[in-house]
Amino acid sequence: MPTNLRIFALTTVLFMSTGFFGRSEPLPNMPKDAELVELFRSHRDAFEKLAAMGMEDAATVSHLSIDTLNKEPLTDGRQNLPVGRRDEYKRLLSTIRSDLSVGIGNDGVAFAYWHTVSRGRSCEKGITYIANSPERVGIIVKNLDTPPLENDVYLVPIEPKWYIIYSQLD
């Protein structure tokens, strides 16, 4: 896997391991693929706008959520986003889910939806936009309703450039 895409995949995994996923309270069961596809389709415009904004801001910021955009002082590049831009991120995120986090890299934008840690294994599932070469970011599979056994990043196509993403690490 080329270095740039591997870095995007690993950044996505690390991003999905932070933010609201660091909470200690129990998290819901892993969502089915159909739930994520429905979420994407019912909020397509917001996802597309967030992905476009994220790609434009990839050199400035790597992680956003409503919480991080409201936290003072702004750090990690968020302070470099104009107030209007930060407000637009918050508005769009809140139309989808108030706890949705966004991981941004040069090759795509990942939307963190679910996370759990069980027996030392960290597992995450969400939706991702990948600008090019998804097979270089993860393993393309037909379904992720049952978690794969091997540690890696897995992708289920929703439509061109949009995927369900699942990652697990020991």
Q: Is 27 part of any domain?
A: no
Strand order in the sheet with 63-65: 63-65, 101-105, 108-118, 121-130, 162-169, 152-159, 139-140
CB 127 within 8 A of CB 113: yes
CB 103 within 8 A of CB 15: yes
- In angstroms, the Cα distances linking 98 to 79, 132, 151 are 21, 28, 29
Q: Is 62 part of any domain?
A: yes
Q: Is 126 part of any domain?
A: yes
Q: Is 162 part of any domain?
A: yes
Q: Is 108 part of any domain?
A: yes
pLDDT at 143: 95
Q: Could you tell me the residue range of the domain that residue 62 belongs to?
A: 3-22+32-169
Average pLDDT of the residues in 2-11 = 53
pLDDT at 120: 77
pLDDT digits (tens, 9 = 90+) for 104-131: 998 999 999 998 887 677 889 999 999 9
pLDDT digits (tens, 9 = 90+) for 24-57: 333 348 999 999 999 999 999 999 999 999 999 9
147: confidence class by pLDDT, cuts 50, 70, 90: confident
Compute the distance between CA of residue 130 and CA of residue 153 in angstroms, rounded to an integer.
13
Average pLDDT of the residues in 58-73 = 96
148: confidence class by pLDDT, cuts 50, 70, 90: confident
Compute the distance between CA of residue 90 and CA of residue 68 in angstroms, rounded to an integer.
10
Q: Is 99 part of any domain?
A: yes
pLDDT digits (tens, 9 = 90+) for 156-167: 999 999 999 999
- In angstroms, the Cα distances linking 95 to 39, 40, 76 are 11, 12, 24
- The number of domains in the chain is 1
Q: Is 69 part of any domain?
A: yes
Q: Is 66 part of any domain?
A: yes
List the Cα angle 25/40/18 in 5-degree steps: 35
Mean pLDDT of the chain: 86
